Amino acid sequence: MWWTSQGERVLNGAEWDLLREGLSCLWDDVEVSEEEDGPGTTGIAVFDDLPQAERLALLALVAKGLTDEDEPCPDLTAHTEGTVAAIFAHILYLIEVEIELQEEAMASGSSRRVRSRTLRQMVLAAADQVGIDHGSLRVEGGSDALVEWSDLIDELRDRILWDDRDYLVGDAFLDLDPAVGDALKEQLGIAEEYFSAAPIEPTRAGLEEIRASLRRICGRPRAWGADAVVGPDTTVTGA
């Protein structure tokens, strides 16, 4: 379970399908980032700046909380909420890639195999399921619609996270005198351990269990490795 802004719940249907796709693709990205010896690239620093093993542990923890009704609610900390935000940030990045490939294919007149279901279709399906009005936004929209896609993804994210986005301001508290920081957190309603709670540091055996958990949750038949495809199938058909 998860303490979402809509109450204690798990995701299901199209809402979960979208989150799981983003999770699966971000899992690939985290694995590759370690090979390149660099941090994550979602733009959510509280997630990106962690070592690979800790990012994988957080992805598994968050995924269990969001899909398993028997799983206890994980503590809402900068790391757990930042991980959810990182998944949605990665979804937006993948949509940008999807649109770019579509426009390149249309410009060149090339024809490629159509992906069975685009991320934009998944976003619209999730919005329809939870009753978010997406207006005239359509899958066929080009790069001029990126702001609208970003806004819609933000609305879906905010059905899980609270709108204060405290996970973005951890660095500001580090620069404060501890007494001042504690007083400010109390004033803002931020839990005392919200920023200081340490992420899981898995052992080698624990990391394999985490990968196995992610594999089950993402519905993958094999472990992550040389046969993994990084990111979703973004092939499109040209005009």
pLDDT at 9: 96
Band (pLDDT 50/70/90 cuts) for residue 221 is confident
Read off φ and ψ for residue 69, nearest 5 degrees. Answer: -65, -25
Give pLDDT, residue 236: 40
Mean pLDDT of 24-32: 93
pLDDT in tens, 226-238: 444 334 443 343 3
Q: Percent of the chain beyond pLDDT 90?
A: 56
Mean pLDDT confidence for 169-197: 66
Polymer length of the chain: 239
Among 147, 144, 124, smallest CA distance to 134 is for 124
Return the higher-pLDDT residue of 158 and 185.
158
Q: Which of 174, 122, 166, 169 is nearest to 15 (CA)?
A: 122
> Can you tell me the mean pLDDT for 153-157?
97
Report the alpha-carbon distance of residue 167 to residue 191 in Å, rounded. 12
Minimal CA–CA distance to 195: which of 237, 231, 166, 215? 166
How far out from the chain centre does Cα 126 lie? 15
Q: What is the pLDDT of residue 180?
A: 57
Within a domain: 119: yes
Q: What is the pLDDT of residues 73-102, one digit of tens each?
A: 999 999 999 999 999 999 999 999 998 888
- What is the C-alpha to C-alpha distance for residues 21 and 122, in angstroms, rounded to an integer? 9
Q: Is residue 236 part of a domain?
A: no
- Sign of the dihedral defined by the CA atoms of residues 2, 199, 21, 237, in that order: positive
For residue 3, the cross-strand partners are: 8
Residue 226: per-residue pLDDT: 40
Question: Does residue 223 lie within any of the structural domains?
Answer: no
Segment 109-129 shows an average pLDDT of 81
84 in a domain, yes or no? yes
Give domain status of residue 238, yes or no.
no
Averaged pLDDT for residues 159-165: 85
Q: What gap in Å lies between CA 131 and CA 146, rounded to an integer?
A: 21
pLDDT band at 115 (very low <50, low <70, confident <90, very high): low
Averaged pLDDT for residues 170-181: 61
Q: Which amino acid is at 200?
A: I
The pLDDT value recorded for residue 150 is: 94
68 confidence band (pLDDT: 50, 70, 90): very high
Number of domains observed in the structure of the chain = 1
Domain that holds residue 130: 2-218
Dist. CA 101–CA 107, nearest whole Å = 10
- Does the pLDDT value for residue 60 go beyond 50? yes
Residue 176 confidence (pLDDT): 58
Which tens digits make up the pLDDT trace of 32-47?
886 555 678 899 999 9
pLDDT at 7 > cutoff 80: yes
Mean pLDDT of 4-11: 94
Is residue 228 situated within a structural domain?
no
Is the predicted pLDDT of residue 114 greater than 70, yes or no? Answer: no
The whole-chain average pLDDT of the chain stands at 83
User: Is 224 a member of any domain?
Assistant: no
In a domain, 230, yes or no: no
Backbone phi, psi, residue 188, to 5°? -90, -5
